[in-house]
Amino acid sequence: MFHSLAYLAVWATVFAIPWEVVVVVHGVGTISRIIGLLAFGLGVVGVLARGKMRAPIRFHLLTVAFLVWASLSFFWAIDPEPAMLQIKRNLQLIGLIWLLWEFSETPARRAGLYQAYVLGAYVAVINTFINYKSGVAAAGERFSAAEGANPNDLGFLLVLALPLAWHLAVTGKSFWMIWINRLYLPLGLVGLFLTASRSGLIVGIVALSIVPWTLPRLKFRVKVAAVLIAVIAIAGALAYVPVRSWQRLGTTRAQLEEGTLNKRTTIWMAGLRVFPRSPIIGVGLNGYPRATQGVLGEHKGAHNAYMSVLIELGLIGIILFLAVLADTFLAARAAPLQERKLLLVLFFTLVIGLMPRAWETKKPTWVILALLHAATVPAAARARQVWAADPVRRVPLGRPYAAPRAV
């Protein structure tokens, strides 16, 4: 009972991630944080009641090493106050990653968590449409799910749901849920266009690569549905997206070829200039704005997860972070066939999406990384699977198969 309640709480936490900026409780935090704390409590009780828990894998060791190293940098941080705030969030991230691992042990539960994120993205899209119709802009003529929220962040959150929605639409069994997931693609794209996020547009192309990659082997009716989705997306974009958004999106190529990516390259060069001051251990957690202020003349974040980690946590931090990503790629490549293409597309969407945003310690980043590892089969379980599948080693008498003892 408690295990099922804990899973529902984890499901609700993932559901809240895409629209967490819509509901913020003063003095407590976002809705996803509130639900996450409840989920952690239920998760601990559920594991104790069940009497067992999933064994951690290499990803968890690397992740804890990275987050602990980031927290230790408080002791030499040039900006201690924001560093201390992030330490508390790092502890929450470790708890969230454990929950996602512990309560995603079956394909059905993993699919449920994928679905939770897509439905949460629906909430974000609907709020963005409401703000657009009400004329509540987040920045200029750009729109987001909440007033004052960053449209670029929303664009990335919506993009991450695109391959998940397509995968669920292709593999789903329920007629209604299949169409709910199919319709997210045009609605999510229109929401993305309303944010006018150029980085979101680029990453969106990567996310949508799952469609042509999987389409040739699908049934004819699925291909017809894909064409219908494309028509709805085009019609919706032409009907709802304002001209100013199209004009901004139209400058994407020029920014890539000739521009500064909205001054991001200037910020990155400032980071490289201060890097020699502390190349091994970095300037400390959340210290990028303070470290580069003398070069830039203003307080600016890194706008790049990799640059942020390099400057704040040094070579030790970036090695640990890249090790986490490398391990995630290997896990996605070795995932069950039904999920492999989804996880690979999701991985590259995340990796590229981290280039224009410093989300190395944000919940969405680690939720996606944890979901990418959810299908991982621990070594002991793989040994049992091989033993059971080998006809030479099979144990007679119909009793359960057991892994061979070490010699």
Q: Is residue 394 part of a domain?
A: no
Domain termination residue (choose one: 16, 32, 53):
53
Q: Is residue 172 part of a domain?
A: yes
Residue with tokens 């200039």: 273
Distances (CA, A) of 98 to 40, 133, 152: 9, 40, 28
Range of the domain at 372: 56-389
pLDDT tens track for 189-237: 999 999 999 999 999 999 999 999 998 888 888 899 999 999 999 999 9
pLDDT tens track for 358-400: 999 999 999 999 999 988 765 445 444 444 444 444 333 333 3
Residue with tokens 């991230």: 93
> Based on the domain organization, do 161 and 17 belong to the same domain?
no
Judge whether residue 285 has pLDDT over 90.
yes
Q: Is residue 395 part of a domain?
A: no
> Based on the domain organization, do 22 and 147 belong to the same domain?
no
> Based on the domain organization, do 81 and 32 belong to the same domain?
no
- Count of domains forming the chain: 2
Judge whether residue 28 has pLDDT over 90.
no
> Based on the domain organization, do 10 and 145 belong to the same domain?
no
> Based on the domain organization, do 92 and 238 belong to the same domain?
yes
Cβ-Cβ contacts under 8 Å for 278 (sequence gap 6 or more) = 76, 314
pLDDT tens track for 44-97: 998 888 888 889 999 999 999 999 999 999 999 999 998 998 998 999 999 999
> Based on the domain organization, do 198 and 60 belong to the same domain?
yes
> Based on the domain organization, do 40 and 80 belong to the same domain?
no
Average pLDDT over every residue of 158-165:
97
Judge whether residue 180 has pLDDT over 80.
yes
Q: Is residue 33 part of a domain?
A: yes
> Based on the domain organization, do 92 and 115 belong to the same domain?
yes
Distances (CA, A) of 183 to 29, 122, 226, 310, 339: 31, 10, 10, 40, 21
Could you tell me which of 61, 175, 60, 170 has the C-alpha nearest to residue 114? 170
> Based on the domain organization, do 30 and 71 belong to the same domain?
no
Average pLDDT over every residue of 169-176:
93
Signed CA dihedral, 373, 326, 98, 119: sign only:
negative
